[in-house]
Amino acid sequence: MSTDFQENNYTIEELNLPISISHVISKGEDCSDLHIHSDQYEIYVFLRGDIDYFAGNIRKHLVRGDALIVSPNELHRPYLIKETAYERVIIHVNQDVIKKLSTPVSNIYRFLEQYNCCFFHLPDEILNQFLNNERMIQQYYNTKNEFGSDILLETWLSITLIHLIQFLQKNQNKVNEGITVFPDLVKNAIQYVDDHYTENISVASISRYLNISSSHLNHLFKYYTGNTLWNYVISKRMLMAHKMILEQKSITEICYAVGFKNYSHFIKTFTKTFHVSPKKYEKEILTDRIV
Please give the chain's pLDDT, 291 residues, in tens. 333 333 444 444 444 457 778 898 987 666 667 777 767 889 899 999 999 998 877 889 999 999 998 888 788 888 888 888 999 999 888 888 888 888 898 888 888 887 668 899 999 999 999 999 989 988 888 887 899 988 898 888 888 888 988 898 889 888 888 888 789 999 999 999 999 999 999 999 999 999 999 999 999 998 888 789 998 999 899 989 988 998 889 999 999 999 999 999 999 999 988 888 999 988 876 665 443
DSSP 138: H
d(CA 267, CA 279): 9
Burial class (CB in 10 A: 0-12, 13-18, 19+), 94: middle
Closest Cα to residue 252, out of 243, 264, 240, 238? 264
Cα distance between the two ends of the chain? 39
Burial label for 88, CB within 10 Å (0-12, 13-18, 19+), is: buried
CATH architecture label of 182-289: Orthogonal Bundle (1.10)
The verdict on pTM exceeding 0.85 is: no
> 8-174 sits in which CATH class?
mainly beta
Q: How far apart are CA 118 and CA 103, in angstroms?
A: 23
- Half-sphere CA count of 154, side-chain side, radius 13 A: 13
Cβ neighbour number for residue 104 with a 10 Å cutoff: 5
3-state SS class at 11: strand
Q: Between the CA of residue 193 and those of 117, 125, 143, 185, 279, what are the distances in Å?
A: 19, 42, 48, 12, 27
- 44 forms beta bridges with 68, 90
For 217-250, b where at least 16 C-beta lie within 10 A, e where not — what string? Answer: bbebbeebbbbebebbbbbbbbbbbbbbbeeeee
92, 99, 187 from 157: Cα distances, Å? 10, 15, 36
Q: Which sequence spans correspond to the domains of the chain?
A: 8-174, 182-289
Q: For helices 263-274 and 229-246, give the axis angle rounded to 10 degrees.
A: 90
